[in-house]
Amino acid sequence: MDRTGLAEADFHEILEVCSRFPIDESTPAEHIKSFLVAHLSKRSPGAAGHLHEFDRQQMEQLAREILAALRAGKRSALLARS
């Protein structure tokens, strides 16, 4: 997993934000970027600034990583309940 230069703490902050909103494979990477920059600007301005600089390719990679991590987390939660 690349995470395109994000610190582990920033990635976890991103996952926390994304877990509360409906984001899936059909959500354009640029929409995810705008959403994250807006939501992280006060909570984590460093991460917001870093994301603001991402190009389309970096953001598409990050979006894939976000979705994979969210799916893995949901699977883990389901397994823990069984």
What's the pTM value of the predicted model, to 2 decimals? Answer: 0.81
In the predicted structure, residue 78 carries a pLDDT above the cut 50: no
Mean pLDDT for 15-43 is 91
CA separation, residue 21 to residues 15, 18, 39, 67, 82 (Å): 10, 5, 11, 12, 25
Model pLDDT for residues 30-41, shown as the tens digit of each residue: 999 999 999 999
